[in-house]
Homo-oligomer: A and B are copies of this chain.
Amino acid sequence: MNPQPTSHDALEVIPLGGMGEIGKNMFAYRYGDEILVVDGGLAFPEAHQLGIDLIIPKIDYLQENAALIKGWILTHGHEDHIGSLPYIMPRLPRVPMYSAALTLGLLREKLSEFGIKEADTDLREVEIDAQVKIGQHFVVDFFRITHSIPDNMGYVLTTPVGKVVHTGDFKIDRTPTDGKLSQLDRIEKAGDEGVLLLISDSTNAERPGWSISEAEVAENMEELIKSARGRVFITTFASQTHRVQNIIKSSEKLGRRVVMEGRSMLKYAQVSQQLGYMEFKDPLVTSDEVGSMQDSQVLYICTGSQGQPMSVLSRLAFGNHAKIALKRGDTVILSSSPIPGNEEAVNTVINRLYEIGVDVLYPPNQKVHASGHGSREEQLHILNLARPKYFLPWHGEPRHQINHARLAQTATRPPQRTLVAKNGDIVRLTPDDFKVVGTVPAGAVYVDGLGVGDIGDDIIMDRMSMSQEGVLIITAVLHPTPHIELVSRGFIRSNRELENQIRKVALEAVEQGTRDKKRLEDIRDDMYGAVRRFVRKVTGRNPVLIPLLVD
């Protein structure tokens, strides 16, 4: 950590999340004594981060410079952009927070779940192409750009050193569901005036071509719903408002009444509908109400696109949903792809659905899902519109950032310099220079149960060891007669002979130590070492050993 003093001729971009990873997007702009914060997202743990519910960014830098924060902007309502806010906002000053209606609607819902009062926040709804002045030095010109949730925004940031274009998450959907096209002219205009830095979404930098439009997905889905004879069950991301809307439209057209199942599905639909982003001609019905309808008149939209164990689709697949049972003749459509890490869970659900005998439809054999992120041609199009002097590939793992960086070299006017930054880097930008000049603390804060930050990597390591080999607790009771008690969890099947041998080994160590008048700690360590060696030799295993001495 070696931040240089901030001068008045440079803009600093300081990513606190989302750089070198997909998730927990958050970064800060700093110019002089003013900080502008962008987003505050969460990440989901990887398989080896055992027992962690979610991960939020480390915000030490912002806490240390809290007085400088002049404003906060949110690009859109996905969890990886607003999911950390209930954890982070209470620890930072109340500053104006700007975003579009749906994003703030989803955030309000979230804050109220956490018991955070509206009065402790300063949420300011803006039009999707509004101009906002923040502090003395930042002017933000938002623009609409298509993604997999409505009200998604990019923006042009005008600063004393020059213009920054940040795409936000994007795809370039030329036939969006709501007919509202991306305002790419804003990027082009900025390009005409001169863009110093482009910060662009790298997610699909390894996918050639142009992404599929949501309209094409809607068409394919409607065909499949039309040809289904029995009930139809569709799962997708709850935040995929446009897709859910399209499914509802198709259902209405094809004479099917819609049942929504799953808390998050209902929550998003409610917020979207209240704010005018989702329309129902026919009101929703409940699974009880459809009891009297014919199978061909019913369609369920439900949670579970990632194979989450408690989701509606998983409960249906495993036959333990309280009210609904799948049967032959039903059609299940997974309008989604597994997020990396969820492949096994989704595969298990798909197999169970096949075993039940329903028709199961999913990508890639069925074109029922489109990514919310643009492919290479779309990324290149943005580069050609913005024509930036400097380029910062963002929202991607190193493989995505680096492929995006290489793609930039094929632009009509390639950037003069591209940096592949990491979380915590201080990226310093002047009209003539662009480099990493230091770092600030950055990284993962684990959230588990009610605790934030009380789980560290050392604890994860212990969990890892126990998950591999279990735990063996050896209690030596010294008085009146020394004896050993054993308890294990997750080790091996109860085995009298082995247990007796372990007891004997432990007791010998204790008795030897007592004879030698060793200190209790040393006796305990001797016992630990003796048992560890013995267990490893006899079983080939290394359980977590916990030696206890009761005097």
> Residues of A with Cβ closer than 8 Å to B?
46-48, 50-51, 206, 208, 340-341, 343-344, 347, 350-352, 354-355, 360, 365, 397-399, 402, 448-451, 454-456, 459-460, 462-471, 473, 475, 477, 485, 487, 489-493, 495, 538-541, 544, 546, 548, 550
Contact = CB atoms under 8 A, between A and B. Distances in A.
A142 B73 CA distance: 69
Contact of A402 (B344, B354, B399): B354
Contact of A541 (B48, B350, B448, B546): B448
A256 to B, nearest CB: 25
A138 to B, nearest CB: 32
B354 A467 contact: no
A215 to B, nearest CB: 24
Nearest to A365: B206
One complex includes copies of this chain to the number of 2
Contacts of A471: 466, 471, 489
A485 B48 CA distance: 30
Contacts of A491: 459
Contacts of A485: 548, 550
Majority SS at the chain A contact face = mixed
Closest 3 CB pairs of A and B: A449-B540, A467-B467, A450-B540
B459 A470 contact: yes
A206 B495 CA distance: 46
Given A449-B539, A550-B475, A50 B493 contact: no
Contacts of A451: 492, 539-541
Contact of A399 (B354, B459, B467): B354
Contacts of A489: 462, 465-466, 471, 544, 546
A350 B459 CA distance: 27
Contacts of A340: 343-344, 347
Contact of A344 (B341, B360, B487): B341
A492 B344 contact: no
Nearest to A357: B402
Contact of A398 (B354, B402, B467, B470): B354
Contact of A473 (B460, B467, B473, B539): B473
A194 to B, nearest CB: 31
Given A344-B340, A365-B208, A477-B550, A539 B466 contact: no
Nearest to A549: B485
A344 B47 contact: yes
A456 B398 CA distance: 40
Contact of A463 (B208, B354, B448, B468): B468
20 contacts: A340-B344, A340-B347, A341-B343, A341-B344, A343-B343, A351-B399, A450-B538, A450-B540, A451-B539, A451-B541, A454-B495, A455-B492, A459-B470, A459-B491, A459-B492, A463-B470, A463-B490, A466-B471, A466-B490, A477-B550
A407 to B, nearest CB: 13
A51 B544 CA distance: 13
A206 B360 CA distance: 12
A449 B541 contact: yes
Given A50-B468, A343-B343, 19 more contacts: A51-B468, A51-B469, A340-B343, A351-B397, A354-B398, A354-B399, A448-B492, A451-B492, A454-B495, A455-B492, A455-B493, A459-B491, A463-B470, A465-B490, A466-B470, A466-B489, A473-B548, A487-B546, A550-B550
A503 to B, nearest CB: 15
B473 A462 contact: no
A492 B365 contact: no
The interface centre, meaning the residue of A47, A351, A466 with most chain B CB atoms within 10 A of its CB, is A466
Contacts of A343: 340-341, 343
B469 A397 contact: no
Nearest to A360: B399
The interface centre, meaning the residue of A46, A464, A492 with most chain B CB atoms within 10 A of its CB, is A492
